Amino acid sequence: MNDDQSLRQDLDPQSDHSSDYLPHHPHHPSHPLQPQQQPQPQPRRPRGFAATAAGSVGPTSPSTPTTNKGKREREREKERTKLRERLRRSITSRMLAGLRQYGNFPLPARADMNDVLAALAREAGWVVEADGNTYRQSPPPSQIAMGMRSVESPVSSGVRATKSLECHPPHNPSSVVRIDESLSPASLDSVVIAERDTTKNEKFSSGGSPINSVEADQLMQELPIRPGNHGIGTTAFSTPDPYVPLYVTLATGFINNYCQLVDPEGLRQELTHMQSLSVDGVVVDCWWGIVEGWSPQKYVWSGYRGLFNILREFKFKLQVVMAFHEYGRSESGEALIPLPQWILEIGKENQDIFFTDREGRRNTECLSWGIDKERVLHGRTGVEVYFDFMRSFRTEFDDLFAEGLISAVEIGLGSSGELKYPSFSGRMGWRYPGVGEFQCYDRYLQQSLRRAAKLRGHSFWARGPDNAGEYNSRPHETGFFCERGDYDSYYGRFFLHWYAQSLIDHADNVLSLASLAFDETKIIVKVPAVYWWYKTSSHAAELTSGYYNPTNQNGYSPVFEVLKKHSVTVKFVCSGLHISSQDNDEALADPEGLSWQVLNLAWDQGLLVAGENALSCYDREGCMRIVEMVKPRNDPDHRHFSFFVYQQPAPLVQGAICFSELDFFIKCMHGEIAGDLVSC
Region at 315 (left for phi over 0; alpha for psi -120 to 50; beta for the rest)? left
Q: Over pLDDT 90: what percentage of the chain?
A: 52
Q: Report residue 363: phi and psi, to 5°.
A: -115, 110
pLDDT of residue 620: 73
The span from the CA of 458 to the CA of 495, in Å, is 11
Distance CA 82, CA 75 (A): 11
Report the alpha-carbon distance of residue 215 to residue 151 in Å, rounded: 7
Burial 397-410 (b: 16+ CB within 10 A, else e): beebbeeebbbbbb
Average pLDDT, the chain: 78
CA separation for the pair 74, 181 (Å, rounded): 28
Separation CA 673–CA 230 (nearest Å): 10
378: region left, alpha or beta (phi > 0 left; psi from -120 to 50 alpha): left
Q: In angstroms, rounded to a whole number, what is the distance separating the alpha carbons of residues 212 and 204?
A: 11
SS3 per residue for 417-461: HECCCCCCCHHHCCCCCCCCCCCCCCHHHHHHHHHHHHHHCCHHH
**Cα 75 to chain centroid, rounded:** 41
pLDDT in tens, 328-370: 876 666 779 999 999 999 999 999 999 999 999 999 999 999 9
pLDDT at 331: 65
Task: Give, in order, the Cα–Cα distances in Å from 350 to each of 2, 362, 427, 442.
Answer: 98, 11, 21, 10
Does the annotation mark 365 as catalytic?
A: no
Amino acid 480: pLDDT:
97
- Confidence check: pLDDT of 72 > 60: yes
Answer positive or negative: Cα dihedral of 622, 414, 565, 281.
Answer: negative
Is pLDDT larger for residue 416 or for residue 85? 416
Strand, coil or helix: what is 355? strand
Between CA 326 and CA 310 the distance in angstroms is 26
CA distance 503 to 499: 7
| Cβ–Cβ under 8 Å, residues 4 and 45 | yes
List CB contacts of 12: < 8 A, sequence separation 6 or more: none
Give 605-635 pLDDT, tens digit per residue: 999 999 998 865 556 777 788 898 999 888 8
Among residues 612, 621, 628, 661, the one annotated as catalytic is 612
- What are residue 404's DSSP bridge partners? none
Most confident of 24-33, 211-220, 455-464: 455-464
Q: Is 497 helix (H, G, I), strand (E, B) or coil?
A: helix
| Position 544 pLDDT exceeds 80 | yes
H-helix or E-strand containing 408?
Answer: strand 406-411
Give one DSSP letter per residue of 629-658, joined into a string.
Answer: HHS-TT-TT----S-EEE--SS-TTTS---
Give the pLDDT band (50/70/90) at residue 299. Answer: very high
pLDDT for res 106? 74
Q: In the 3-class helix/strand/coil scheme, how is 85-139 assigned residue by residue?
A: HHHHHHHHHHHHHHHHHHHCCCCCCCCCHHHHHHHHHHHCCEEECCCCCEEECCC
If one counts every other C-beta atom within 10 angstroms of the C-beta of residue 21, the result is 9
Q: Which residue spans within 543-600 are E strands per DSSP?
A: 569-574
CB 645 within 8 A of CB 284: no
Q: How confident is the model at residue 26 (pLDDT cuts 50, 70, 90)?
A: very low
Lowest mean pLDDT among 22-26, 61-65, 202-206, 392-396: 202-206
CB atoms near residue 258 (< 10 Å):
12
Q: What angle in degrees, to the nearest 10, is found between the helix axes of 302-314 and 264-276? A: 30
pLDDT for the residue numbered 652: 66
230-255 pLDDT, tens digit per residue, is 333 333 344 568 899 999 999 888 99
From 123, 215, 418, 437, active-site residue: 418
User: What pLDDT does residue 173 have?
Assistant: 39
The answer to whether 374 is a known catalytic residue is no
For residue 181, pLDDT over 70 is answered with no
Instruction: Please state the rounded mean pLDDT for residues 582-602.
Output: 90
pLDDT in tens, 558-591: 999 999 999 999 999 987 666 667 777 889 999 9
Q: pLDDT tens-digit profile of 507-524?
A: 999 999 999 999 889 999
Helical H segments across 285-397, by residue range: 288-291, 302-314, 341-349, 382-396
pLDDT band at 552 (very low <50, low <70, confident <90, very high): confident
Beta bridge partners of 571: 526, 610
The pLDDT of residue 89 is 75
**What count of other Cβ atoms lies within 10 Å of the Cβ of residue 348?**
7
Report pTM: 0.66
Given a contact cutoff of 8 angstroms between Cβ atoms, the answer to whether 643 and 247 are in contact is yes
Residue-wise pLDDT for 520-542, tens only, equals 899 999 999 999 999 999 999 99
Q: Predicted confidence band at 206 (pLDDT cuts at 50, 70, 90)?
A: very low
Model confidence at 266: pLDDT above 60: yes
In the chain, the percentage of residues whose pLDDT exceeds 70 is 69
Which of 249, 271, 237, 260 shows the shortest CA–CA distance to 105?
A: 237
So what's the pLDDT on residue 122?
A: 80
Q: Tell me the chain's radius of gyration from C-alpha atoms.
A: 34
> Alpha-carbon distance 92 to 103, whole Å?
15
Question: Which H or E run contains 323?
Answer: strand 317-323
C-alpha–C-alpha distance, residues 306 and 626, integer Å: 34
User: What tens digit of pLDDT does each residue of 129-164 get?
Assistant: 877 788 776 544 444 444 443 334 333 333 333 333
Backbone angles phi, psi at 31, to 5 degrees: -70, 145
pLDDT digits 0-9 by tens, 446-493:
999 999 999 999 999 999 999 999 999 999 999 999 999 999 999 999
